Amino acid sequence: MKKLISYILTFLLVIVLVALVLITCVKGKILNSDNVLKIFDNTNFYENTYNTLNDNFSNYMEQSGLDESVIKDIITVEDIKTETKNCVESIYNNTKYTINKDDIERRLNENINSYLDKNNRKLNSNEKKAIDTLVSKISDLYATEVFPIDLISKVNINLEKISNIVDLANVFLYVCAGVLLFLLIIINIKSIMKVLNYVGVTLLSSGIVLFAPKIFVAWKMHINDINIYNRNISDIIINFINEILNYFTKTSIIFIVIAVVLLFVANLLKKTDDRK
């Protein structure tokens, strides 16, 4: 009977440990805005977005007949970094945010007017209307390329509420783990060898379960081919997935190493008992 209960407790402990790792990952990787912004830094998101935008701006200039000098310095890497940070923080604080297009429109209009003055060009009503349309298109392109804030806002996810739920779940799972481990020790209190063996099996099983996603993704999925919204956002998502998988892998390795040590010690104790 004790053995059956110990197996049940071990099985439940595996579930709780895996859930704890998942909750910890969600809390530390997904619900942590600083971690998200760190991924943006690590993937050179700001510089890549800056280069992409300038390439797209150049295409518009070719179609407009204006010189490419008019798009010089209308955006900076720092602009993109500031807007991205504001967007991410607004999502995590569950507040409304609109990407600032006024500055880019102002700079672009100043550059266009300066270019026209230097070349003594006067615009007729149709040309002025075309220029206004161009400025609007470029500012809209900037807003959509920097960060998909409008798209994410439509989902209406309250991350603050989710974070509170995760905190409660985290405490609950720690209590469950403590209770299950305590019961496992109490039931097998007369044999430290059995306790070590059950804990070792628990950690080994948990480690295998946590390592499974890495194997599944490597075998079945091609995450580097993910293409969502645009290439720069896709790179962020790919790196985000890889970071989560690496977290699971590192945790699983730690669990497996500890499990092997515990099982080895339990086996030594068993051999010692047999000799007696």
Q: Could you tell me the pTM of the whole model?
A: 0.81
- Of 135, 130, 153, 166, nearest to 28 by C-alpha is 166
Question: Please, what sign has the CA dihedral across residues 76, 143, 47, 131?
Answer: negative
Query: Could you tell me if 103 and 79 are in contact, meaning their C-beta atoms sit under 8 angstroms apart?
Result: yes
As given in the structure block, the two tokens for residue 122 are: 């006067």
Average pLDDT of the residues in 44-69:
83
DSSP 28: I
Highest mean pLDDT range out of 51-65, 80-94, 120-134, 262-276?
Answer: 80-94
What pLDDT does residue 155 have?
64
pLDDT digits (tens, 9 = 90+) for 175-209: 999 999 999 889 887 788 888 888 999 999 999 99
| Per-residue pLDDT band at 257 (split at 50, 70, 90) | very high
